[in-house]
Amino acid sequence: MSLEEKSDMGVSQGVPPQLVEEILRHADANLSASLDRFFQFLRIPSISCDALYAPQCREAASWIADELSGIGFEASVKSTIGNPIVIAHSKDANGPHVLFYGHYDVQPAEPLEAWNADPFEPSLKEQPDGDTHIVARGASDDKGQLLTFIEACRSWKAVTGHLPIKVSMFFEGEEESGSPSMEAFLDESGEELTADVMLLCDTYLWRDTVPAITVMFRGIMEEEIEISCATRDLHSGAYGNAARNPIQVLADLIASLRGANGEVTIDGFYDDIERIDDQIIADLANLDFDADAFLSNVGLSRSAGDTAYSVIEQIWTRPSCEINGISGGYYGDGFKTIIPSTALAKISFRLVAGQDPERIQSKFRDHIRARTPADCKVKFAGFGGSPASLISSRSEYLGCARAALKQEWDCEPVLIGSGGSIPIVSVVKRRLGLESLPIGFARSDNRHHSPNEKYDLSSFHKGIRSWIRILAELSRCTPVQPPSFAGDDSGADQA
């Protein structure tokens, strides 16, 4: 049965299983060609944080656009105030409309001496367990991940000439440097990205053979505070006891942020937290998460978080307050007996659904000001933030994706959370009204941002096959009315 004949039956009938199997066989038979393209992509050093690599970022964007044009997409490279963005649309008009997001930029490779080979000359490394590692900068974050989706579309096009649903793609080149061009780009071109749901793959498997859908990401709010007391550094013998020490003041202020049981003590900090639906709570409870092993892997033996919650709840479903750095006084070799005039701390908050970064910032500053003693001045510097994201377990798209993953991996996929942040998820929800469906195939040991980054060949292969099945299952979903473009309604979100 052709895809055209399937379309005549109506979207709700889905794609015939025998057609899906034919497409999967095509992907299997052409894995070597997919790897060749993957290696071409990896050889482009598209480092976004260094302006010297701007030509290579443009090269990577053009490479993606050319590949998509070659399989029938209407693809274009859009200029921004920074690195370009690639937009592509399929011509298939049936069924729901998905927007796939990824990023082609990568982290710097330094320290180069820690790599076993040239970070931009990919290599295959066979492993004792029978798998093979694809080693290169960007192999897992995010070039290999995004390419699994493109290669899945390639197989669909090769076998049927069409995709089972309407697909748009959206690839940026500044994710690793905070997406500084994103807001301006959405102001100008956001309407071109309207769809029913956004797919993305910058996430992980739960276990090496257990797929996962990430249904919650914590948001973030970052602050720097500076405490100053005397007008200059003082002799600690001449002024000791009599003069306020800003390091001591800062230490007291930091200590006031957490209670004896690990809870954050800022007034009203927990007021606006959204309730997580029962299905997600049940799925989290059923995960085989070993909290002792999680901590012992980094040399720890007990949780320092709110004791009313399990470790997995602490890192996924509860907000946190962490001190990221402290400076002040003399910390060189030897000793310098001074009372410094200033001290500084960098403090970040991981937020959960319902918490507004600007409101948390205001509460934090009120907390600090109320406890800053006389003869001390406090200065704040905000570094932006983004809200958390929470995906409903009742989403029709989520149900279809779970069914497809179960078919491919021969096990139930799990719903997981992420303690970190992927700002694009909250950006498209706020600006475009789109819910997201994050499905990635990276493993926890893929060394993102580190030397010898790798992507497992099994992840690449199974990722392609998984997306083939997901596209087929999504054709069963009911299309929704695209939301109106929201436009600019607040400041930029930052990673």
For the stretch 433-486, pLDDT in tens is 999 999 999 998 999 999 999 999 999 999 999 999 999 999 999 887 555 555
Sign of the Cα torsion 141, 143, 148, 152 reads: positive
Predicted pLDDT at 69:
98
Q: How confident is the model at residue 10 (pLDDT cuts 50, 70, 90)?
A: very low
CB 316 within 8 A of CB 417: yes
Task: Give the span between the Cα atoms of 268 and 296, in whole angstroms.
Answer: 33
**Angle CA 153–3–197, to nearest 5:** 50
- Locate the DSSP E strands across 127-183: 132-135, 166-172
CB 340 within 8 A of CB 227: no
CB 418 within 8 A of CB 218: yes
Q: Concatenated DSSP letters for 318-362?
A: S-EEEEEEEEES--SSS---EE-SEEEEEEEEEE-TT--HHHHHH
Q: Is the pLDDT of residue 74 over 50?
A: yes
Q: Is the pLDDT of residue 16 over 50?
A: yes
Q: How confident is the model at residue 92 (pLDDT cuts 50, 70, 90)?
A: confident
For the stretch 264-284, pLDDT in tens is 999 999 999 998 888 888 888
For the stretch 24-35, pLDDT in tens is 999 999 999 999
What residues does 288 pair with on adjacent strands? none
CA nearest 47: which of 168, 144, 174? 174
User: In whole angstroms, how far apart are CA 210 and each of 108, 371, 439?
Assistant: 30, 48, 12
Residues of the chain with CATH 3.40.630.10: 3-208+390-474
For the stretch 237-264, pLDDT in tens is 999 999 999 999 999 999 999 999 999 9
Q: Just give the CATH number of 3-208+390-474.
A: 3.40.630.10
For the stretch 206-231, pLDDT in tens is 999 999 999 999 999 999 999 999 99
Average pLDDT over residues 364-376: 97
Residues of the chain with CATH 3.30.70.360: 219-273+319-386
Predicted pLDDT at 285:
83
Tokens read off for 150: 């493109």
Predicted pLDDT at 487:
56
pTM equals: 0.86
Domain 219-273+319-386 falls in which CATH fold?
Alpha-Beta Plaits (3.30.70)
CA nearest 249: which of 161, 336, 378, 142? 378
User: In whole angstroms, how far apart are CA 335 and each of 178, 206, 330?
Assistant: 39, 49, 8
CB 377 within 8 A of CB 251: no
Task: Give the span between the Cα atoms of 208 and 131, in whole angstroms.
Answer: 11
Predicted pLDDT at 93:
75
The enclosing H or E element of 234 equals strand 234-235
Average pLDDT over residues 76-100: 93
